[in-house]
Amino acid sequence: MSVDTATVARIASLARIKVSESELEAMVPELNGILAWVEQLGEVDVTGVEPMTAVIPNTLRLRDDVINADPLTGGDVRDAVLANAPAAEHGFFGVPKVIE
Amino acid sequence: MSEYRIQGMTGEWEVVVGLEVHAQVTSNSKLFSGAATAFGAEPNTQVSLVDAAMPGMLPVPNRECIRQAVRTGLAINAQINKWSRFDRKNYFYADLPQGYQISQLYHPLVGEGEIEISLDDKNPEADVKRIGIERIHVEQDAGKLMHDQHPTMSYVDLNRSGVALMEIVSRPDIRSPAEAGAYLAKLRTILRYVGSCDGNMDQGSMRADVNVSVRRPGEPFGTRTETKNVNSVRFVMAVVESEARRQIDLIEDGGTVVQETRLYDPDKNETRSMRSKEDAHDYRYFPDPDLLPLVLDDAFIEECRASLPELPDAKRHRYENALGLAPYAAGVLTADVETARWFEALLAAAAAKAGKPEAELAKQASNWLISELFGALNKLGKGLADSPVTAEGGAELLALIADGTISGSIAKQVLEKMLETGDGAAAIVEREGLKQTSDTGAIEAAIDKVLADNAAKVEEYKGGKEALFGFFVGQTMKAMQGKSNPQVVNELLRKKLG
Amino acid sequence: MTNLTDLTVAAIRDGVAAGTFSAVEVAEAFNARVAAAQALNAFIVTTPEAALDAARKVDADRAAGNALGKLAGVPIGMKDLFATKGVQTTAASHMLEGFTPQYESTVSQKLWDAGAGMLGKLNLDQFAMGSSNETSYFGNVISPWRRNDGSTAAMAPGGSSGGSSAAIAARLCPAATGTDTGGSIRQPAAFTGISGIKPTYGRCSRWGIVAFASSLDQAGPMARDVRDCAIMLEAMAGFDPKDSTSLDMAVPNWEASLNADMKGKKVGIPREYRVDGLDADVAKSWDDGIAWLKDAGAEIVEISLPHTKYALPAYYIIAPAEASSNLARYDGVRYGLRDLPDGANLQEMYAATRAAGFGAEVKRRILIGTYVLSAGFYDAYYTQAQKVRALIARDFELAFQHCDVILAPTAPTAAFGLGEKTADPLAMYLNDVFAVPASLAGLPAMSVPAGLNREGLPLGLQIVGRPFDEQGVLNAGLAIEARAQFSAKPEQWW
């Protein structure tokens, strides 16, 4: 499978990365080179093989339902949450107006 | 069930509906972080660094959320998947800090189940239909955008971001607005019984995406639209009705239905197309690499099963079979878990006071609750939850009726006073002197006066017009201001009238 | 007096504990050396005060007779992928320029708790994507090493932990943190003549480390020798309930159990790593390694890892796929860069912000990752890659039925010059051909210096162990270290 300019433009739009026409032109052969190379995986016989789900065989731990049990992963930290915001007003994050 | 058909210009149509209900899981903290979930907090105060998707933050799942979803699954007789997994659903929006929602696509926690609905209000045992549930999965809620606080900006509040939701997906088994409404109402009933969701639709705890298509009866499914975030039973019914009508008109005009996302406008009672998102459907789901497979053991599932309360259908059957209630009454009393709890508390207290088995008092308690208390509360604009009369207080009143202290009609007055003052029934009866009398002397005197004043009627009665007996009872009760024991009145009257 | 900046972690720790020198003296010496090495561009920010504050506390504790931590008085470098509270954390990207975390990563916190101090935040490939440290928004890191032909050509320190490797090799710090997604600890260690270990996936918490590819990312130490790696790793590792993939296992006393005697141990030599056209010097150093381990008492066995060839292509599907999703959070809403062109709406702001904030290699990987996950391609690429990954892990599992550790080169070549491979992304990716298989299988793996090639540049040997057997890996590394007697160091030109 190889990609053309339109496909790369669509992918860039899905990934929300603005690309210029010239960038797009340059990306097409690069991505095609990489994709052609990874496609050798198709040679591998994977009959009966399950995709890996955990690198080190392990299952999910569940935590207790306690509010702010660990301050590092709890709430009531609005100042820390907003500290780096490009636009924070009245306790909110500000973004360009969204029309729904 | 009777078949619901919509008459178009070119013939009859059938509507096909499936519901995806998002129900907020009742838990103290969020699905993957320790921030609180309470409704109505100051903006961004219930947000952890994890919920704000700060660099390097990681999700750790909340056991209670998993437990509640499993309990819900068990309540609808669904298959519980012991091996499930979380996937990422990737899209960009300001209310989605991670740039993906952690959800379950490929391996949901709960598989197929079903819910029984009835369209017959008078008899929930009749007109029964089973609606299939395809799956229940657990996922994160998004934050909230506010558009009206600033001229050029929208404001983002992440308090809801990361709160656990169950998405309950029905099969396209629903065939009318009424069925859609009944399904949602029944689902809400079950969730509230289980305690896995508070069902507060006005706070957004439960909302439905309504999938609607139309077809000629017997033909394959048509193209469906999805109307998002419908937040009441009434609106769901309205969406089904108006969207079906729109699709039929469109098709009959030679158009075709486009698969799209729509919004419901309650003011206009119509749906409209949402902002078009041409690539919004490529969500690039893949297993969340920050999380491992979720593996449940039998002990966990059995603990969930053991913790389930008696569910609405079972309770209704018990009310009918063991308590002898009519199907209608059993249906009303079990439609909401709080009503059932109230009724059971009332019945238990009444039985304890009377020293009689519950089954003997059930009908009286049920009648009083449904015809007296509901009506009185309704007038006050209140419900059981904020009723000034407690179940214990109600039982006290019932006991006074049962032991002949007051009559049924006096009981109405006493209830009004109870609601007004918050005082107990006995205290009110005592204070107001409402105790009915069984003093035969006083009653006899009253009867003698009634009979003397109505000599002509006495003659008619003796001549065979026995229906007049009720008249004499009424006159006597009136003379006694309702405070005489009707049974004693009856007996004495019969004696005197020969 | 000893040159303090020539000392190892163990020597500094012991010297501070014994009172031979103070922690503040050590911090001052390294601060000065860091300040004088700006030409290497190893640090994005330096934090001399943080190093001194930690040192003062250690000195005060010692004076008060308090117990000292495992790393008391040791100043280290922190890869700028670890969130450090109050200190800018960038992942070497314009996207996070000026981002000041309000939290400390689990691993860095453990290091500070053990008494280490921070000299600064080390440069790296942007979002840890790269093998030469040429993708950093804050400029290339220059390796302290040069070819022995008198050339002044700037050499790559390896990547992505290139700031870490360069700083240690240049004696700017005795040890540093690294992260390894597909070789990012081992390859730069090999390029700069130092040691580095990637532990078993899950040993070190990922909480607070800017994510690249979650199923592969693993933190580990880089230092000048095996013992220092063991000391550092003991401080960094440990169960963290905040990371669902963290291993709930006790941290062994790796340093105390170091043992270079390989008697009774079997060392596997993977046949598939003898690729056609393998660099002659690399092949020779591998043979040296085999001889050294034999000398240490090990039995050498040939093993087969049949799916080796497919590791790199699988990696270049899985890692970009995860990255494309992990990096979606950089959207200009809550932190980091926001590029809001006049009149732009929300989605346009995203696209402009991400175009301006991410470098070319990051964009390339996000696009590949987005593509392989997109509708219609997911199974052919992603699912297939995860199946191949399962086969690669099974290869190792089978091989470890016949051997205790595996010995291979760390990288197919020694360091290359900056700019030599930037035109061809694929050629750059091939650098990690020997490192990636162990990453895909989550196995502990380390690189130790083996010698110099004919150009005078360091070569590394890689040891891969069974899951949780960091000790076996460290011990084999120690056996090689003892025999390689690697003492070369870059001549100071900066």
Sign (positive or negative) of CA dihedral C62, C66, C70, C74: negative
Domain spans, chain A? 5-43
- What pairs with residue B100 in β-bridges? B90
The confidence band for A100, taking pLDDT boundaries of 50, 70 and 90, is low
- Comparing CA positions, the residue from B111, B22, B33, B25 lying closest to residue B65 is B25
**Residue C256: partners with Cβ closer than 8 Å, 6 or more residues away:** none
B neighbour chains, 3+ CB pairs within 8 Å: A, C
The string of pLDDT tens digits covering residues B280-314 is 579 999 999 999 999 999 999 999 999 999 999 99
DSSP state of B386: G
The string of pLDDT tens digits covering residues C23-69 is 999 999 999 999 999 999 999 999 999 999 999 999 999 999 999 99
CB-CB under 8 Å, A72 with C335: no
Percent of chain C predicted with pLDDT > 90: 97
Q: What CA–CA distances, in Å, run from B328 to B122, B309, B440, C460?
A: 5, 22, 40, 82
The string of pLDDT tens digits covering residues C193-227 is 999 999 999 999 999 999 999 999 999 999 999 99
The string of pLDDT tens digits covering residues B476-485 is 888 887 777 7
The confidence band for B2, taking pLDDT boundaries of 50, 70 and 90, is low
Distance from B86 to chain A by nearest Cα, in Å?
A: 10
Residue-averaged pLDDT of chain B: 93
Q: What CA–CA distances, in Å, run from B150 to A93, B60, B161?
A: 12, 36, 22
List b or e across C151-167, with b for residues whose CB sees 16 or more CB atoms inside 10 angstroms: eeebbbbbbbbbbbbbb
- Comparing CA positions, the residue from B134, B116, B186, B170 lying closest to residue B335 is B186
| Rounded CA separation C351/B411 (Å) | 72
Distance from C357 to chain A by nearest Cα, in Å?
A: 10
CB-CB under 8 Å, A85 with C387: no
**In chain A, what is the greatest distance between 2 CA atoms, to the nearest angstrom?**
58
**Both tokens of residue C450?**
């083996």
| Rounded CA separation B213/B285 (Å) | 26
ipTM passes above 0.85: yes
The string of pLDDT tens digits covering residues B29-61 is 999 999 999 999 999 999 999 999 999 999 999
CB-CB under 8 Å, B282 with A93: no
Catalytic residue among C22, C105, C131, C160: C160
- Comparing CA positions, the residue from C273, C217, C267, C221 lying closest to residue C245 is C217
DSSP C53-78: HHHHHHHHHHHTTPPPPTTTT-EEEE
Query: In terms of residues, how long is chain A?
Result: 100
The string of pLDDT tens digits covering residues B390-408 is 999 999 999 888 887 888 8
Chain C partners within 8 Å of B282 (Cβ): 374-375
CATH class of A5-43: mainly alpha
pLDDT at residue B234 greater than cutoff 80: yes
CB-CB under 8 Å, B61 with C334: no
Distance from C65 to chain B by nearest Cα, in Å?
A: 37
Chain C partners within 8 Å of A30 (Cβ): 364, 425
**Residue C395: partners with Cβ closer than 8 Å, 6 or more residues away:** C304, C305, C306, C307, C308, C437
> Which member of B42, B150, B284 has the closest CB to residue A94?
B150
Read off the amino acid at residue C423.
Answer: A
Distance from C94 to chain B by nearest Cα, in Å?
A: 14
User: Is the model more confident about C359 or about B121?
Assistant: C359
**Both tokens of residue B422?**
């918050």
Q: Helix or strand or coil: residue B164?
A: strand
pLDDT at B281: 74
The string of pLDDT tens digits covering residues A23-47 is 999 999 999 999 999 999 999 999 9
Q: Are B393 and B400 contacting, i.e. CB atoms less than 8 angstroms apart?
A: no
Query: What burial class does residue A55 get, using C-beta atoms within 10 Å of its C-beta: 0-12 exposed, 13-18 middle, 19+ buried?
Result: buried
pLDDT at C444: 98
3-state secondary structure C331-394: CCCCCCCCCCCCCCCHHHHHHHHHHHHCCHHHHHHHHHHHHHHCCCCHHHHHHHHHHHHHHHHH
Chain A partners within 8 Å of C242 (Cβ): 70, 72-73
In chain B, which residues touch C (CB < 8 A)? 49, 52-61, 88, 90, 92-94, 97-100, 154, 156, 281-282, 284-286, 289-292
C neighbour chains, 3+ CB pairs within 8 Å: A, B
The string of pLDDT tens digits covering residues C368-407 is 999 999 999 999 999 999 999 999 999 999 999 999 999 9
**Minimal-distance CA residue of chain A relative to B272:** A100
Q: Helix or strand or coil: residue C452?
A: strand
The string of pLDDT tens digits covering residues B166-176 is 999 999 999 99
Per the annotation, the verdict on C421 as an active-site residue is no
**Both tokens of residue B85?**
């997994």
Is B63 touching A (CB cutoff 8 A)?
A: yes
Residue-averaged pLDDT of chain C: 97
| Rounded CA separation C118/C174 (Å) | 11
Region B228-251: what's the mean pLDDT? 96
**Both tokens of residue C163?**
């700031």
**Residue B96: partners with Cβ closer than 8 Å, 6 or more residues away:** B142, B143, B161
Catalytic residue among C184, C195, C205, C285: C184
**Both tokens of residue C482?**
């003892």
Percent of chain B predicted with pLDDT > 90: 76
pLDDT at residue B142 greater than cutoff 70: yes
- Comparing CA positions, the residue from C91, C39, C38 lying closest to residue C209 is C91
Is C426 touching A (CB cutoff 8 A)?
A: yes
The string of pLDDT tens digits covering residues B425-447 is 989 988 887 887 767 778 888 88
Strands B206-215 and B11-24: antiparallel
Q: Are B460 and B496 contacting, i.e. CB atoms less than 8 angstroms apart?
A: no
CB-CB under 8 Å, A41 with C385: yes
Alpha helices in C67-122 (DSSP H): 106-113
**Minimal-distance CA residue of chain A relative to B154:** A97
| Rounded CA separation C73/C228 (Å) | 14
| Rounded CA separation B58/C244 (Å) | 8
| Rounded CA separation B443/B441 (Å) | 5
Which secondary-structure segment (H or E) carries C120? strand C117-122
Chain A partners within 8 Å of C216 (Cβ): 55
CB-CB under 8 Å, C388 with A73: no
Chain B partners within 8 Å of A53 (Cβ): 85, 287, 292-293
Per the annotation, the verdict on C160 as an active-site residue is yes
Q: What architecture is the B440-497 domain classified under in CATH?
A: Orthogonal Bundle (1.10)
| Rounded CA separation B90/B88 (Å) | 6
Catalytic residue among C70, C79, C121, C421: C79
| Rounded CA separation B224/B211 (Å) | 6
Lowest mean pLDDT among A72-76, B355-359, C153-157: B355-359
Which secondary-structure segment (H or E) carries B74? helix B63-75
Region C292-298: what's the mean pLDDT? 98
Rounded to 5 degrees, what angle do the CA atoms C112, C118, C124 make? 115
Query: In terms of residues, how long is chain B?
Result: 498
The confidence band for B278, taking pLDDT boundaries of 50, 70 and 90, is very low
Region C99-103: what's the mean pLDDT? 98
pLDDT at B276: 55
DSSP A5-59: HHHHHHHHHHTT----HHHHHHHHHHHHHHHHHHGGGGGS--TTPPPP--SSS--
pLDDT at B279: 47
User: What is the distance between the terminal CA atoms of chain A, rounded to a whole angstrom?
Assistant: 37
Distance from B406 to chain A by nearest Cα, in Å?
A: 51
Cβ pairs bridging A and C (under 8 Å): 176
- Residues 18-77 on C with a CB inside 8 Å of A are none
CB-CB under 8 Å, B28 with A67: yes
pLDDT at B479: 84
Per the annotation, the verdict on C79 as an active-site residue is yes
User: What is the distance between the terminal CA atoms of chain B, rounded to a whole angstrom?
Assistant: 57
Domain spans, chain B? 6-304, 310-432, 440-497
**Residue A98: partners with Cβ closer than 8 Å, 6 or more residues away:** B94, B145, B147, B154, C345, C346
Cis amide bond preceding C160, omega within 30: yes
Beta-carbon count within 10 A of C30 CB? 29
CB-CB under 8 Å, A93 with C333: yes
Chain A partners within 8 Å of B155 (Cβ): 89-90, 92-95
